[in-house]
Amino acid sequence: MELKVNVGCAEDAKMSEPVSPTGQYFNSSALSVSVISILEFENPIDDSSSLALINNVFLPINPRFSSIMVKDGDRGKLWKRVEVKGEDHIKVPIFPEGLSPESYDHIFNDYLSKIAMDPLPQTRPLWEIHIFKYPTSNASGSLVFKLHHALGDGFSLMGALLSCLQRADNASLPLTFPNFLKSTKQDNEIKSLMSVVPHALSVAINTVLDFGWSILKSSFLEDNQTSIRSGEEGVEFRPINIITMTFSLDQIKKIKSSLQVTINDVITGIIFLGTRLYMEATCEKEKNARTTALVLLNTRSIGGYRSVNEMVQNQEAQVQWGNQFGFLHVSLPKLNQYDQSLDPLKFVQETQNIIKRKRNSSAVYLTGMLLESVRKYRGPEATAEYIHSTLKNSSMTVSNLIGPVEKMTLANQPVKGLYFMVVNVPQVPLFISCICLILSLTVTIMSYMDQLRVAVGTEKGLIDPEKFRKCTERAFSIMYNAAVLDK
């Protein structure tokens, strides 16, 4: 349901702001996307302070948490400030008591699948908090934040979530994050005209090739139908499974050092190799089928998350809020491409080469300009359908976020783990498909303390989640053995 209001008076105008183009794409008849973030707690959850946290900490972070999306004639869609009743946004499900953690694992997964499918009411701000008070295999209780993607991208929303948490060792100190500022080494190396010209030529060629391929992928060039891609309409109406797996960040760093690549190269290589192993184990002839991943990139120029005070008071931080990301079409390397023996190190290096070449391109920005042109001349609905087509023709999405180095608490309750998942919410008839699980496979990655948490969203009835988990864990094992133990 789209609300239409008159916001003509001066007071209302001050309380409203335009919805960004991307925000309009993500809350349309063709697309409706949310981010689910899960906090796992060491001890049973005490929710007595939940309303105070919402009113005093969460809502002040950004006006959009206190706004609804409305339509105002020629002005288009606006964020309209409204009064928020925190109790309307808190859900506490009730299930039978005294079951085993394994039983609650299944209940929790089914519950996540349900809330992933339930649309957020458009008559109130687009977020919810679900408090799951039952012990699973991973936690004594879990807190689920569901936030509409129109509010912001994963970086913005995770920054908002982390701003509600404190360091366990000293709440007066800020959370710290691994340094992921871009190195200036390459910039320093490109000093002379002799090096600038070949670099610029390489960027130009890569841009033309990548942008052209992106248009083809968004228009009619579909991936093969495989054991990870059904390619059928109406996927968004099917339930999902969400499984997670945990890897040692220290071991990932050892692989990184051994291969002289980045941590992103290693974990992306592991995910891609695990996917290929799953395809091979499911159907031998599919192992080298045409398979494309959409790898999401943060396009901000800043180096890290902002604190609550910065988000509220700092104008630059507010400008950096929202949906500021792009994506790369990355073809998964093939198994046994050159010989009959699996070389996991060559697989990672090939993954790195593909991503490095695509990063050495301006296709991401040209795609953004194309989307803006489509929006300007054909409207946000047409743009959303174009994005929908881009996703529909691919096989999987991969996105990652960096979490804090220190252990966290929420209202003095220790956080054991956290992960996130991008989910689709069906709002439209069957013949129109939506964003996330029109792809049958979605992978998200989040670091926290000394661990890397990988969450996998799969279409029920198509992908065997436990088999996929085992294949991915096998990919990590053989890669670690080849890079570290066998040297």
pTM for the full model? Answer: 0.84
Model confidence over 398-446: pLDDT tens digits? 888 888 889 999 999 999 999 999 886 544 333 233 334 446 788 999 9
Supply the CATH number for residue 456's domain.
3.30.559.30
| Best-predicted range by mean pLDDT (113-122, 124-133, 172-181) | 124-133
Beta carbons of 327 and 363 less than 8 angstroms apart: no
Q: What are 4's strand-pairing partners? A: 71
Residue type, position 481, single letter:
N
* Average confidence score pLDDT of the chain: 80
Lowest average pLDDT, out of 65-69, 172-176, 325-329, goes to 325-329
Model confidence over 15-31: pLDDT tens digits? 577 887 777 777 776 66
Which tops the pLDDT comparison, 152 or 51?
51
Which phi and psi angles does 295 have, rounded to 5°?
Answer: -100, 115
**Number of domains forming the structure of the chain:** 1
**Which of 58, 77, 238 has the alpha carbon at shortest distance from 150?**
77
Q: Report the C-alpha gap between 279 and 154 in whole angstroms.
A: 29
Measured between its terminal Cα atoms, the distance across the chain in Å is 60
Banded pLDDT at 216 (limits 50, 70, 90)? confident
Q: Which domain holds residue 321?
A: 3-485
**Which of 148, 155, 158, 81 has the alpha carbon at shortest distance from 320?**
155
